[in-house]
Amino acid sequence: MTQLDRRTPRLFATVVTVASAVFAVALAASESSKDANGPSTASDAPRFDVPDASPSELLAFIRKTKARFVEGNSRDERVAFTVRQQKAICAAADKIRTLGSQPDVEAAAVSEKFAALWNLIKLNDPRAGAEAVCMAKGLENDPRKELADRARFFLLWERAWRVTDAPGQSPEGEAAALVDDIGRQLEGGNHDELLVMLASMLPEKLQPSQPQLAVRGAQRFALALSKFSAEPAKRAAKHLRDVARRRSIVGETVEICGHVFAGGAVDASKFRGQVVLVEYWATWCAPCIAEIPGIRSVYEKYHDRGFEVLAVSLDEDRDQLAKFLGENQVPWTVLCGRSADDSGMRQPMVVTYAIDTAGRNFLVDRQGQIVALDVRQDRLRELLERLLAETPRAIERND
C-alpha cells in the first residue's frame, strides 16, 4: 500500500473540485441532522444501481447520485453510504468511457471520477489513491486534449502534495522541478483556473521547508500571471507579489509605526530591546478572537522577561473595535487607523509587510529583526524561551 493510499493529500483536496467540498459539507450536515433512531437494517441500505443506459443518461445518473443527501443514523452508516455513492459514480464514469461518447460527456465523466476518487481517498479507501494515479497516468498522453489536460493537472497536484505534505517521498530536487514546470506552463500562456489556484497556493505551502524556493516561485508565478488580462490571474499575481514580499521580510529590521487606539502615535521606543509579537487581527475574525486567551497566557508568563505584543487591528469600524475592547480588556498595545484613509488594510504596517488577511503575525527579536512568520502558540513558546534567554550580543553571534 502506498502512502497516497493511506493519507489524504490535503493540498490537492483543497481545490481539485468543488464536488469534494460539497461532499464534505453534505456529510457534516447530515451528521448534525440525524437523531438517535437506532441503526438501519441491511434491507434499509440505500442502493446505487448503475443503469444500462446511454452516456448522457449515465452522466445524468452521476449528477443525480451526487445530489443525494447523505443517509444514516450513525457516522459509520453515513460513511458507508458515501463510499457506496462515490463508487457508483466511479462505476458510471467507467461505463461512459467504455461506451465511448462525445468529448464533452467523457471529459465530464473523467472529472466526476477524479472527484469521487478523491472523496474515497479522504475516507481511507485502500485502493482509491492508486486507482486515481493510474487513471491519470493512462490519460496524460491521450490525443483528446481536454482529457489529457485534466489528467496532467491531477498528476501536477499529486506532485504538489508529495513535495509539501509528504516531502520524504519526493526525490531530491522535485520541489524545484515542480516550481519550474508550473512556471513554464504559466509563461507558455496557460492560465487555467485550477493551475492559477495551484500556483497561488504552492509558495506558502513550500515556505516551512524551502523558504528561498517559495519566494522565487512566488516571484516567478506573479510575473507570469501579471501578463494575463483575466481577473483571476490578476488577483493571483497580486497575491503572489504579497506572498513574495511577506516571505522575504525575515531578517529585516522592523518599522513600528501607526496610531494607538487610545490615541496618539505609537511609541516605537517602548518596544526597543524587547521580543515583540506583531499580531494582525480584527473583531470580525473568529479565529483571531479564539487566539486571544492563548496569547494572553503567553503574555502573562513572559512579559516580565521582556515580551511584548503589538496588536494591529484591521477593523475599519472604530465603534465596533471600541465595543470589543471595552468588553475584552487586553494588556497590550492596539493599533488602528484614524480614518478611512489609514484603517483596515491601508494601515502602514499592513502595507509595508504585505499583510493579506487577519490572523497573520510575525515575531521580532531584541535586535529589532523579524525572525519568524505566522507563529502559533506552541512554536511561540519555544522561540520565546530561546530569544528571551539570549542577550543581544549572543544573538549577534548566532546570526
Residue 69 has pLDDT above 70, yes or no: yes
Return d(Cα 209, Cα 163) in angstroms, integer. 9
pLDDT of residue 172: 72
Return d(Cα 351, Cα 76) in angstroms, integer. 49
- Average of per-residue pLDDT across 188-196: 85
Would strands 370-373 and 361-364 be described as parallel, antiparallel, or unpaired?
A: antiparallel
Identify the top-confidence range among 29-33, 157-161, 283-287.
Answer: 283-287
User: Judging by beta carbons within 10 Å of its beta carbon (0-12, 13-18, 19+), is residue 397 exposed, middle or buried?
Assistant: exposed
Radius of gyration of the chain (CA): 25
Other CB atoms within a 10 A radius of the CB of residue 377 amount to 12
Q: How confident is the model at residue 397 (pLDDT cuts 50, 70, 90)?
A: very low
- Average of per-residue pLDDT across 317-335: 93
Contact 20, 119 (CB under 8 A): yes
Q: Which residue has the higher pLDDT, 374 or 207?
A: 374
pLDDT of residue 25: 44
* Nearest one of 274, 232, 265, 268 to 363, comparing CA atoms: 274
Q: Over pLDDT 90: what percentage of the chain? A: 52
Of the given ranges (99-113, 275-289, 314-328, 357-371), which has the lowest mean pLDDT? Answer: 99-113
pLDDT of residue 368: 95
Mean residue pLDDT of the chain comes to 84
Q: What is the dihedral of CA 240, 242, 243, 248, to 10 degrees?
A: 130
Contact 306, 275 (CB under 8 A): yes
Residue for cell digits 511609541? 267
Q: How confident is the model at residue 166 (pLDDT cuts 50, 70, 90)?
A: low
Element containing residue 334 per DSSP (H, E):
strand 333-335
- Average of per-residue pLDDT across 161-174: 74
Of the given ranges (38-47, 121-130, 257-266, 385-394), which has the lowest mean pLDDT? Answer: 38-47
Return d(Cα 64, Cα 93) in angstroms, integer. 13
Residue 391 has pLDDT above 70, yes or no: no
pLDDT of residue 88: 95
pLDDT of residue 20: 45
Residue 37 has pLDDT above 50, yes or no: no
pLDDT of residue 7: 35
pLDDT of residue 9: 39
- Which pairs from 50-56 meet CB under 8 Å and 24+ separation? 50/88, 50/91, 50/92, 50/95, 54/99, 55/95, 55/96, 55/99, 55/100, 55/101, 55/102, 55/105, 55/106, 55/109, 56/101, 56/105
Ordered alpha helix ranges (H), the chain: 3-6, 10-15, 18-33, 55-67, 75-99, 103-122, 128-139, 145-164, 174-187, 193-206, 211-225, 231-247, 286-302, 318-327, 348-352, 377-389, 392-398
Return d(Cα 89, Cα 309) in angstroms, integer. 52
* Nearest one of 342, 273, 350, 346 to 311, comparing CA atoms: 350
Return d(Cα 232, Cα 195) in angstroms, integer. 11
- Average of per-residue pLDDT across 244-252: 90
101-115 confidence digits (pLDDT tens): 788 898 899 889 988
Contact 315, 281 (CB under 8 A): no
Residue 195 has pLDDT above 50, yes or no: yes
Q: What is the pTM of this model?
A: 0.63
pLDDT of residue 36: 40
Return d(Cα 257, Cα 321) in angstroms, integer. 19
- Which pairs from 145-151 meet CB under 8 Å and 24+ separation? 146/103, 146/104, 146/107, 147/103, 147/106, 147/107, 147/110, 149/192, 150/107, 150/110, 150/111, 150/114, 151/110
Q: How far is CA 171 from CA 12, 158, 174, 217, in A?
A: 19, 14, 5, 19
End-to-end alpha carbon distance in the chain = 44
Identify the top-confidence range among 65-74, 334-343, 359-368.
Answer: 359-368
217-235 confidence digits (pLDDT tens): 999 999 999 999 999 999 9
Return d(Cα 167, Cα 133) in angstroms, integer. 18
